[in-house]
Amino acid sequence: MNWSGVMPAITTPFDEDLQVDHAFMIKHAQWLLEKGCTGIVALGSLGEAPTLAFDEKVAILKSMVTAAEGRSPVVAAISSLSTAESVALAKAAADAGCSGLMVLPPYVYRSDWRETRAHMGAIFDATPLSCMLYNNPVAYGTDFVPEQIHELAAAHANLHAVKESSTDVRRVAAIRAIDDKRLKIFVGVDDAIVEAISVGATGWVAGLVNALPVESVALFNYAMEGRAKEAFEIYRWFLPLLRLDTVPKFIQLIKLVQQELGVGSARVRAPRLELAGEELKATQKLIRDAMNSRPAIAG
């Protein structure tokens, strides 16, 4: 499992009956990979995992493995209310042909470190798949500090990466200071990617890439190559859209961008509802303004 590059946290498309649209999801994943993405992360927060039944999750993973055709890794996000269900999903992901796991702390219950360590360890140990720990204290209320990440890495040989979404890019440097050779660090906050790369991040689990893969991959590559001027020109244009990934309605917003650009639908499952009224109009204007000044990038 090569933990590097731009990996979309792929959205889950729904048909008019709000059932998973597997045919479109396969085409969407293949399009993202053709545009330079290095893998697919399915069942994440952006993928509306809490609204998906267990069997739906497994079916999505199988569709993504089909889409990747063995040429790119498929990473399954593992999250649930219970450790037992998370372990079962990890095993199902391995059986479905996934290459890696992105492991989250439990939903809802904010466990202490002893409990969190046991939960994460059970998932890491459930399969031999390479794992990425997902740290998002803003969304989940559990914060893996660098020392705890190091402890988990020392105890579990298949923990190879961290998705750092604390919104504090200093965490990237802090993790590297403790374990610079072992762990690959991904950024999970779209509007912090350039800053995080500057202190050692080598991957991006991205959101707006679902609608704008060419721009996302170009931004990432320029930043990794140290081409600051080119990176900033894209970043300056992209930031108003990237910031849509950082607010509570990020799923509705990103799916709306996809719809406005003709690469998806804005449909979401309840309790989320599609944007409406002035909120919808303001977002559509933001998207139109961005598209009117869209940079010309080959791809």
Tell me which of 57, 62, 163, 255 is the catalytic residue. 163
57 is catalytic: no
Dihedral sign for Cα 58, 60, 61, 63, please. Answer: positive
Tell me which of 35, 134, 222, 255 is the catalytic residue. 134
Under 8 Å CB-to-CB from 266, ≥6 apart: which residues?
252, 255, 256, 258, 259, 274, 275
Q: Which two tokens stand for residue 123?
A: 């998932």
Q: What is the DSSP string of 111-172?
A: --HHHHHHHHHHHHTTSSSEEEEEE-HHHHS----HHHHHHHHHH-TTEEEEEE-SS-THHH
Under 8 Å CB-to-CB from 298, ≥6 apart: which residues?
none
Q: Which two tokens stand for residue 95?
A: 């059986």
109 is catalytic: no
Catalytic positions: 134, 163
